[in-house]
Amino acid sequence: MTEKFILAGATPLHICDSQSDGPCIVLLHGYLESMLVWDDFVPYLYKRARVVTLDLPGHGISVVQGRCHSMEFLADTVADALTALGVERFTVVGHSMGGYVALALAERHPERLEGLVLLHSTPNADSPEKAEARRREIAIVEAGKKDLLARSAPAAGFAEENRARLRDAIEDLAEQVFITEDAGIVALLNGMIERKDRNEMLRRSPVRQLFILGDRDGYITPEVAERMIAAHPQAEVLRLGHAGHMGFLEEPAAVAEALLRFAGAGAAPEA
């Protein structure tokens, strides 16, 4: 993987690019994560596909651009980054918040997408209760208590049965919270609060779609997942029986096989 900074439109962006042969798969990380979250997963993919990861503006070591990073701004930045890399079409895989960015890409740049994968993500807007919870997180961060998020959020993403086995991954996620700028956390929380519902857009989209959902996800519960699947018969679906919200770490081989098949890259090699 080649790691570098590029200019995506007017935004400096930290990226990694395998520069390997095959269809291009772009992995977009979630909230309180960075491109480092993909380090153990990329080896499952790069022998069959070109894999691009990046720090979304506001997380990792990419820049913060104001108090609100809208999903539209992030989507345009990703599209500009792929243009700078000489990639015209790609399959985008959005984990959690990254899925919201992927949805905005499908709306604004459908001609660029070979496929859209929502990895533990939904096209729903925030409920009033969820938006209020995000505002409480903003208050926590602005009070200088980001450590509260680092102690609670990473473990909550994993199915209880996987937490001991993946203790190192949980610790790595906690470290990613600490290195993320407070202003970046606030900008992305504000962007998620203001994002719109994209269910109807997704139903009408010409872009191929795959949903990957965890049966033990505490954020997208099985009940929510069932409603989402029923509302989108146009999408392919993979249910992970032993994963929470972090299926690419909890069941990486199954997720990689599904992504490579969906992207037209063939079978997944051993990591």
Segment 2-16, tens digit of pLDDT: 999 999 999 999 999
Residue 239 maps to a domain: yes
Across the chain, mean pLDDT equals: 95
Confidence of residue 271 (pLDDT cuts 50, 70, 90): low
Instruction: Tell me the residue ranges of DSSP E strands in the chain.
Output: 2-8, 11-17, 24-28, 50-54, 90-95, 113-119, 209-214, 236-240
Q: What mean pLDDT do residues 162-181 have?
A: 95
Residue 271 maps to a domain: no
Q: What mean pLDDT do residues 33-40 have?
A: 96
CATH classification of the domain holding 86:
3.40.50.1820
Phi, psi of 23 (to 5 degrees): -65, 150
How much of the chain exceeds pLDDT 70, in percent?
97
Residue 268 maps to a domain: no
Quote the number of domains for the chain: 1
Residue 175 maps to a domain: yes
Residue 147 maps to a domain: yes
CA distance 107 to 188: 19
Phi, psi of 211 (to 5 degrees): -105, 130
What's the confidence (pLDDT) of residue 1? 83
pLDDT over 70 at 38, yes or no:
yes
Residue 270 maps to a domain: no
Residue 42 maps to a domain: yes
Whole domain around residue 170: which residue ranges?
2-262
Handedness of CA 75, 81, 86, 87 (dihedral sign): negative
Confidence of residue 266 (pLDDT cuts 50, 70, 90): low
Q: Which two tokens stand for residue 182?
A: 């407070």
pLDDT over 70 at 99, yes or no:
yes
209 pairs with which residues across the strands? 116
User: Nearest Cα to 38, choosing from 218, 255, 208?
Assistant: 255
Residue 267 maps to a domain: no
pLDDT over 90 at 196, yes or no:
yes
